[in-house]
C-alpha cells in the first residue's frame, strides 16, 4: 500500500460532489469513463480505502461514496437503518445516471450492495461481495458497540478492530496505521448509527433470491468476517464465484490493492463489463 496521510484528496481527473438525501447529503467522487463500477466502504472508514485500487482499473467510470456519518458525508442523528443506507447508494446511482454497474461492497458496504441488488436490480449487472456477510453476528453485540462508541469514542475499540482486521502479522503495517488514523477520525454518531443498521439486518432470504453475476472475496487472515462466512453468503447466489486472498485480512484493498484489483478486472472481463 502507498504511504498516504488521512487527508488524501481527489486524484487526477477525479470530480467530487454530494447528493441531497433530505436531512443529509452523501459525498461521492467519480473518475474515468466506461462501464460503471460503484464502490462502498467498510464501517468506520471512508471512500479512500479504494485509493490504491482505482489506478489499476482504467477504462471504467469509478464511483465512490461515503456512507452517511462517514468521510465527507453529513452525520444525521442515529440510529440508522440498512434501508436508509441503501437509499443513499440508490440516490447516488440515480443522480449520476448509473445503469448496468458492478457494485463493489466491502463489509457493511457489501450489505448495502446486497440490499441495492434486491431493491434496484435495474441499476446493477454484477456484484462483488468483499469480506462481508448476509448477517453479522447478533444484534446485542452491535447495540453494545454503539453504546461504547457514544460513551467513549472510537479510541475505545480501535485496537481490537485493528487486531481483527489485520491479524498479528499485519497489525504493524503501514496499511494498519493508515486504517487506524481513519477510524479515529470517524464521527462516533456515524459509526454508532451504522452499528444499529447492521444489528437490524438479516439478508439470508433476500440475497438467496438474487440472480446476477457475483464474486465473493475473502482474506484468510480476516478475524472480523471469516472466510467461511463470506463463502456462505456468496454461495447464496447461484453461480457465484469465490476467491480467497492469502495473506490478507478484512481490508484486502489496503493489504494487497493490486491483487484485489486484478480479481475485480478478471471478474469484469468474465461478465463482459469492459
pLDDT tens string 128-152: 999 999 999 999 999 999 999 999 9
Q: What CATH number should be reported for the domain whose range is 14-270?
A: 3.40.50.1820
Residue bearing cell 490493492: 257
Q: What is the pTM of this model?
A: 0.95
Cell 475499540 belongs to residue: 157
Sign of the Cα pseudo-torsion (162, 168, 172, 174, in order)? negative
Cell, residue 189: 454518531
User: How far are the Cα atoms of 53, 71, 170 from residue 254, in angstroms, in the given order?
Assistant: 8, 17, 11
Confidence of residue 56 (pLDDT cuts 50, 70, 90): very high
* Segment 209-221, tens digit of pLDDT: 999 999 999 999 9
Q: Give long-range contacts, CB 8 A cutoff, 24+ apart: 260-265.
A: 260/53, 260/130, 260/217, 261/53, 261/56, 261/57, 262/56, 263/215, 263/217, 264/37, 264/53, 264/57, 264/102, 264/104, 264/128, 264/215, 265/56, 265/57
| Sign of the Cα pseudo-torsion (45, 46, 51, 57, in order) | positive
**Which cell numbers hold the place of 131?**
469480506
At residue 232 the predicted structure's pLDDT band, cuts being 50, 70 and 90, is: very high
Amino acid at each position: 500500500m502507498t504511504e498516504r496521510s488521512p487527508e488524501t484528496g481527489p486524484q487526477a481527473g477525479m470530480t467530487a460532489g454530494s447528493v441531497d438525501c433530505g436531512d443529509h447529503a452523501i459525498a461521492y467522487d467519480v473518475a474515468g469513463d466506461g462501464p460503471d463500477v460503484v464502490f462502498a466502504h467498510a464501517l468506520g472508514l471512508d471512500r479512500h480505502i479504494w485509493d490504491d485500487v482505482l489506478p489499476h482499473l482504467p477504462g471504467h467510470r469509478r464511483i465512490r461514496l461515503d456512507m452517511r456519518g462517514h468521510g465527507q458525508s453529513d452525520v444525521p442523528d442515529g440510529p440508522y437503518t440498512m434501508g436508509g443506507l441503501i437509499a443513499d447508494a440508490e440516490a447516488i446511482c440515480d443522480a449520476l445516471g448509473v445503469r448496468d454497474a458492478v457494485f463493489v461492497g466491502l463489509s457493511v458496504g457489501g450489505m448495502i450492495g446486497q440490499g441495492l441488488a434486491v431493491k434496484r436490480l435495474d441499476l446493477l449487472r454484477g456484484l462483488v461481495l468483499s469480506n462481508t456477510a448476509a448477517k453479522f453476528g447478533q444484534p446485542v453485540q452491535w447495540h453494545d458497540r454503539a453504546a461504547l462508541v457514544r460513551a467513549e469514542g472510537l479510541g475505545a475499540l480501535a485496537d481490537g478492530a485493528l487486531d481483527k482486521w489485520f491479524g498479528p502479522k499485519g497489525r504493524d503495517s503501514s496499511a494498519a496505521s493508515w486504517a487506524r488514523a481513519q477510524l479515529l477520525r470517524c464521527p462516533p454518531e456515524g459509526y454508532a448509527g451504522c452499528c444499529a443498521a447492521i444489528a437490524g439486518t438479516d439478508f439470508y432470504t433476500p440475497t438467496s433470491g438474487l440472480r446476477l453475476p457475483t464474486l465473493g472475496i475473502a482474506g484468510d487472515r480476516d478475524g472480523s468476517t471469516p472466510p467461511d462466512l463470506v463463502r456462505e453468503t456468496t454461495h447464496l447466489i447461484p453461480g457465484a464465484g469465490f476467491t480467497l486472498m492469502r495473506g490478507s485480512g478484512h481490508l484486502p484493498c489496503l493489504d494487497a490493492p493490486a491483487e484485489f484489483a486484478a480479481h475485480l478486472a478478471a471478474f469484469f472481463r468474465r461478465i463482459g463489463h469492459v
